[in-house]
Structures are given as C-alpha cells and as structure tokens.
Structure 1
C-alpha cells in the first residue's frame, strides 16, 4: 500500500484565498456521528455539573488530595488506574485505526466534535455554505455584520462554557460560579479560564482543519497503523471514472458526475477522489453527500464508502487479522487490569512521620520514648471511626487517642508517643495497626533507643 501523502502547503479545492466553507449534509453516518458525539458531550458537561450528595461526578481535588469519581473517593495513590485507562484507550484507538482508519478522529475526537458545533453555529447565523461563499465578496456591514458579530458571540459563549466545565474538573464548578458572581475570582483562575476559552475558540472556530493536518500527531503516524485491509473512507475509482457531468456523460462514463459535493461536505476540505490523504479524518461526510446524489440519480450507493485497498481491487479482505487481533487482546487485557484495580483501591491511607526534635526521649534508665505524628485519610463513605493499636502491645505502649474520628480529623497530623522498656537493641521495628469498618491498614516504622 502506498504511503499516505503528507501535504505541507495544502490548499483545499474550491477554496478562496485558502478559506473554504463546509457544507452540512445529512445521512446515516452523520446520524451515527451524532449518536456517538452527543453522549460524549453530555458526559463532558455532566461529569462537572451534576452533583450527588454535594459532590460532582468527577473532581480532581488538590485541596482534599483525592479524586471524586461518582461519589467514590480515590487517593492520589490510585492515579495509576487513570494511567491504565489511558493505556486501554490507546489500545482501543490502535485497534480502531487498524480496522477502520481514523474513525476516532471523525466520530469522537473532541476537536472534531467542537468543530462541528462551531460549524453548526456558523450555518445557523450566517447561512449555508453557498450563501457564505457568495457573501464573502460583499462589504461587511448591515445585517451581514450583525450576523457575523452574533456568530462570534455564540462561539465565545460556547468556548467560555467549555473552559468553565473543564476547570470544574479541578475546582467545584459552583464554587467558580459563586466567586465569579461576587467578582472574587483569583487572577490565576481567571487567566486560566480565559486561556482555555481562547484556545477552544481558536481551535474549533478559526484553525479547525489545520489542527487535524498540522498539529495532531495521528495524521503523521496513521500510515504506520494502516495496511491493505484497513477499511477507511475510499473512493471507488473503478466505478466512478471517468467522471463526467450528466449533460456531458458518454457511454463509458463512470458514476461520478463531478458535482463536488463530497469536497464541499469535507470538514478538512480534501478531495477524497484523489486517494487516501493525511488530512482525512474518516468522518464519512463525503459518503453521505455522495450517497444522496446517487439516490437522486437512481444509481447504487457506495461510490464512496468504507473499504480497504484490497476490496477496491476486488480482492477478499479478512475481518480478523493477526495485528488486529493482537491490538484487541492488548485492549481486553488493559481493560481487565483496570477493572480489577478498581476493586482494590485504597480504603485507608496512613502516613507516619518521626518528630523532628529529639530522635528519642530517655525517661529513665529503662524507659525510652519516641514521638510520632500520624495522619489517616479514609476514602470510603461511612468510614468515620478508625481504631489505632500497636502490633506488639506487650513490648510497646501507645500514648495518644486510640480512636480517630475522620469526620473531624481527616488529613490532620495527630501527635503520638510510643514508649518501651528494657530494649537492648539500638533500634526495633514498630508497626501501627489501623482498623475501620471498610478496611484495615498497617504501617511500619522504626523505634530508636539510642543514637546510631
């Protein structure tokens, strides 16, 4: 299979001064894209805005040193689970790329989803693509100026809501809104929201396809993921060529009537009839546009379709291949490991520090004491009382509260003293036991009797 061309100075066909206008189309793949993208949009906003028992569905709380996930608290020690989710997602991405090309980019990538939202706003405020192209040569004044201002205001509004929602994953969204309503947002937080809103506005509204072509690394290494059996959006040149308009069609003309709708519907502005290209994101907008034309002409659909190079050449293309099966096995293994990890998350997190003063305190000739500071954090709802004891109470004596109320002392360092009599060795191992309703934990430290 030929390598995917990497176009450096790329100007979309039918573009004026490098600018082109995306024509919205309807069809089964666009409906499928909406069925994929709208739940993801709802999940993005819902995770930050929806609250259960006063907590959002997802919150990376630096103040509380925990992650809130659907009312369940995870410690920062459980962050490898998120890394596991990213690995599983990468395996899923590779699996999809080998099987169907860049369908992630076309159907589920946030850049593509937000770009389509911005295009919808543009189409609503300034009219269809053909009208926008005609108006481009007209002076920007009057009603057209008002429509342009309205479009950018709606873009800014959507970008701001997006930035606020993303920030709500780290700071409770209602706290942000309360501070904003009272003009008490910090300069750092205000700057962060403005920067994120500006990036969203630029990426989805102004830059658009240039992100997919020049910034996204996937467009550079997708040729490594593809093989001759990868089903991606393809033009059947054997059926479509030679292309000709209806009025100029000859007996040997192909099914392509050179209407150009496949190019006008493409969000990256490419001509899929030129073959597979780095800018193609497999959104299938060109398939729906072409199918609509073929239906009107009473010709078979599928002139542009998801097909592999082998299928276009008339050869059999197996659905299951060794590389595809390998990525599938890796994906299943990664997902299984992550699911297992969520069954064994941290229930109690214990930290013990030796007092920074004296290493030990000699009370008398036979008794030595060590001072410690202990912090206990619980990550299970309903776990409030934690009992503290020593693994060897006959050898050591514990002085301090034997029960910690996490509702009052969670993440608080509490002072403790441990004393021992008649220890001959200069140091000994000391183990604290912590018992709660939802789990137990043990933490070992060192007990010193003399300087070493």
Structure 2
C-alpha cells in the first residue's frame, strides 16, 4: 500500500508567521480588565513622584546624597537590607501567582506588555486596522505613507521621552527635573539617562515587542517549573472545536462533520505573541486572554456556546476536579506572607537614627595635667528622619567619669554630624586596662528616637 504524501505536508510550520506581527485590536471582558489595569498602573507610575509629603516629594531615591526618602522615612545605604526583603517578597509572590494563574503577570501587569499594547493602540489609531496596516506596509512610499509613519513614530518618541522623564523623577525632584527640561538646563548626566531610557522604551515597545517576551525574557523559559496540572492557563477545547472548518452561520456543523471552531483565525490575529493557541500550550503564551475575547465574539455570532478557549487547568480539561489548596501554592503563599510580615516588623522596629563611635587609634588615651585619664571619641550621628532634631549625649558604664560633650547638637533631616566627646576618669578608680562603656544619643523632641553604641575606655 502506498501513501500519497505531499512535500508541503511534511514541513513543520513555525508557531507564528515570519516577519512583524500585526496585532488586531480586540474588545471584550479580559481586554477591558487589562486596559483599565494598564491605565491605572501607568497613571500611578507617572503621578507617584508628584505626591507631596511634609512639604517634600513623598518618594525620592536620591543617589547623589545617598538618601532614599519614602513617605517621611529616610533610608540610607545601611538600610538596604529592606531591598532583600522586597526582592524576596516579589519572587515568592511571582511563584505563587504563576503556580495559581500561569503567566498573568506577563499578560496584565508587565511593563513590557503594557507599553507594547499602548504602542499598538497608537499604531491602530494612526495607521488603521490590522488589514490597513498590512496594506500600508506593502504599498509604495508616498506622501500619505510618509505622513502616517512620521506621525506614528513622533507619538512613540513622545511617549518614550515622557516615560523616561517620569522614571527619572523618582531620582531627581520632579519639579526641578521638569523645570530644567523646559529651560534646557539638564546636566549631561541627566540627559544621558533620560535619552537612554527613552531609546530602550522606543525600541522595546515599538520594534522588539513580542521578541522580548519570547526570546529575551528569562521568565518565559523557567516558568514551566512552576506549572502543575492545576495551574490555570489559556487552553483550547480541541474535543469540542475539532474538526475545525469554515461554514456559514446557518450551517449545521454536525452534518458537515465539523466542531465549533470556525477557523476564523482571529485568535491568532489578536495574539501579541503571534501564536496559535489551538496548537496547545506554548511557552510564548503570556496568558493575556485576548484570544478568549476574540473566540467568544465569534461563538456569539454563530450562536454557539462560549468559552471554546478559556482559562482552565489540565485537570479541568480532562474532566477532573482541580485542587486550589495544593501544597505548592499554599507553601508559596505562606512564605510570601511570612516575609511580608517580617519586613513590616523590621520597618516598624527600625530606629530613625544611625551612629558610630570613632576613636583616634594613634592615641587611645592621654593623661591631663590633673593626672586623670582622658579618652577622646568622635560620634558620627545620622538623622534618618526628614525633619530637624536636637540630640543629647550621655554616658553609661563609668559611674565616676566625666563626659565632656556639646550640651545639644542640632542635625538637619537626613544629615550627618560629627560630635567630639571626651571621657575623663581617675585611673585609680578603675579595674582593668579596658573598661566597656556605652554612649546613648537621644532626641530631645522624641525620646523614642535614641541609640546606644558600645565602646571601651582605656587607661595606662
């Protein structure tokens, strides 16, 4: 028996067509969620640097002075342990969400996806629908094409520069940044970073697009280790949809031996990654649900049941019951909550003052004209609040010793001061050559703002 197999049937088709992806604009339930969430996240990103707090910018990460101000609290490089807590919370929260809902981070909240769809939205408004954009790109260059392309790229560049400037407002006071921009007084360093970030935004969202998700992003590569048979992902019901085929609305699919899939190809045309979800789960899928909206729209037109494409787990697809409280997802959730609680406790117990004791190692002690032993110290004190405070210094550990120090020391918010102090004691009253002592620095305005630092008193 011989089989007549055509050569073209032996070619394995790629997951998407070669060349640029022309994303079709789609409306629907999941698209509405994404668009509203995208607008909220973008507005939050832009407006946060403009929030005032106690006459200052609420959030300012000033690398020049190494002061990071967040709603009244000033964090210094010594406090960067909080970054470790934040990264751990973010990592385990991502593991939790991915195990539960797949790549919804990529589809709904990833900046790359949000800006990519925003650029696509601009493209649709300037150049037209998907078919019009394809036709425009294939047409010869004329005045109409040049005008549309110029307008599109001008808007893209404006969005990119505005995005980069909004990002820099987290590191440079927003009012100062924009005032210098309009008066053309940006420094070379500021200009470099703004245009670098603008170039990256313009290139990623305008040209690389889905390649960042399918090629460059490491998350798409290791996400599969977090998936299990209960993870909710976008799936196509092949049992109901096959055999797929085109038909008229009044046709009876059973008489034609067809399933519910009308092979309209809209699920592919609306996909930002350009994949065909009907080919099964693929790592390129960002779980955005656009194909669900497109398919439901078609099912509604033909009078078929919705959700031929929908969010469901492998177990649900096989007709089994999914377990939402499995050990993996409970573990990720518990660890996330535990780290968040630990971070909050650390933040509340954080003392808004930092101090260190500096000794002159060339002269640990000296004997004055009265025969008493003197030890000089320098106290380095940092006011980690955003308002001015006055501090006093006291001594513990040497009952009969005399502390010579300024009565009060005024330190501006976020500043550091060096306080010279001297401890004097009678050597005959002391046992041993090295006696532990403690310096206590306390705020006069708030007794809860204090710190105690250990040191030693030396004698001959």
1:48-81 Cα deviation digits (max 9, x unpaired): 2322233223222234433211233334333222
Residue 138 of structure 2 aligns to a residue in which SS? coil
Tell me if the contact between 1:12 and 1:18 (Cα under 8 Å) persists in the aligned partners.
no
Residue 190 of structure 1: how far off its partner (Å): 1.8
Q: Within 2, Cα distance between the matches of 1:87 and 1:117? A: 30
State whether residues 393 and 405 of structure 2, in contact with CA within 8 Å, keep that contact through their aligned partners in structure 1.
no
Instruction: Answer yes or no: is 1:441 the counterpart of 2:442.
Output: no
Q: Let me know the Cα RMSD of the aligned residues.
A: 2.3
Aligned to 2:73: 72
1:207 is aligned to 2:212:
no
Deviation at 1:12, TM superposition (A): 5.5
What is the correspondence of 1:423-434 to structure 2 with a 5 Å cutoff? 423=430, 425-434=432-441
Q: Any idea what the Cα deviations from partners look like across 1:240-267, whole Å, max 9, x if unmatched?
A: 1000001485532011111111111000
Equivalent residue in structure 2 for 1:255, among 260, 264, 277: 260
> Residues 69-108 of structure 1: matches in 2 within 5 Å?
69-108=70-109
Tell me if 1:302 matches 2:303: no
Structure 1 residue 406, shift from structure 2 partner:
1.9
Query: Cα–Cα, structure 1 residues 161 and 11, in superposed 2: closer, same or farther, change >3 Å?
Result: farther
Tell me how far apart the structure 1 counterparts of residues 389 and 243 of structure 2 sit (CA, whole Å): 76
Alignment map for 1:2-151 (pairs within 5 Å): 13=16, 15=17, 17-151=18-152
Alignment of 1:291-330 (within 5 A): 291-330=296-335
State the partner residue of 2:5. none
Q: Could you give the per-residue CA deviations for residues 304-342 of structure 1, whole angstroms, max 9, x where no partner exists?
A: 000111212222222221211111211221222222222
Aligned to 2:8: none
Change (3 A) 1:421 1:111: same
Instruction: Select 2:404's aligned residue among 399, 404, 422.
Output: 399
Q: Distance in 2 between matches of 1:348 and 1:52?
A: 20
* Counterpart secondary structure, 1:136: helix
Asked whether 1:157 is paired with 2:162, we answer no
1:361 and 2:366 correspond: yes
Counterpart in the other structure of 1:331: 336
Are the structure 2 counterparts of residues 426 and 109 from structure 1 closer, same or farther at C-alpha, using a change threshold of 3 Å?
same
CA distance in 2, matches of 1:172, 1:408: 17
Q: Partners of 1:21 and 1:408 in 2: how far apart? A: 54
Instruction: Give the greater-gyration-radius structure (CA).
Output: 2
Superposed CA offset, 1:348-372 (max 9, x none): 1112212365333332373222322
For 1:366 and 1:354, the matched residues in 2 are separated by 21
Separation in 1 of the partners of 2:241 and 2:281?
16
Equivalent in 283, 287, 292 of residue 282 of structure 1: 287
After TM superposition, give the deviation of residue 379 of structure 1 in Å: 3.0
Deviation at 1:22, TM superposition (A): 0.6
Deviation at 1:100, TM superposition (A): 1.3
CA–CA separation in structure 1 for the residues paired with 2:414 and 2:209:
50
Deviation of residue 11 (structure 1)? 5.5
**C-alpha separation between the residues in 1 aligned to 2:387 and 2:168?**
29
Contact 1:386 1:403 in 2 (8 A): yes
Match of 2:3 in 1: none
Aligned partner of residue 246 in structure 1, secondary structure: coil
Alpha carbons 2:123, 2:152 under 8 Å: kept: yes
Q: Does 1:417 align with 2:418?
A: no
Q: Secondary structure at the match of 1:305?
A: strand
Mind listing any 5+ residue stretches in structure 1 that lack a counterpart?
Answer: 1-8
Distance 1:10 1:368 in 2: 88
Q: Which moved further from structure 2: 338-347 or 149-158? A: 338-347
Moved more, 310-319 or 292-301: 310-319
- Using the TM superposition, give the Cα deviation of residue 289 of structure 1 relative to its aligned residue in structure 2, in angstroms: 0.7
Give the whole-Å Cα distance in 2 for the aligned partners of 1:379 and 1:22. Answer: 50
Alignment check: 8 A CA contact 1:11 1:18 kept: no
Corresponding residue for 2:350? 345
Partners of 2:67 and 2:414 within 8 A in 1: no
CA contact (8 A) 2:383 2:412 kept: no
Q: Classify the secondary structure of the residue corresponding to 1:192.
A: helix
Aligned length: 440
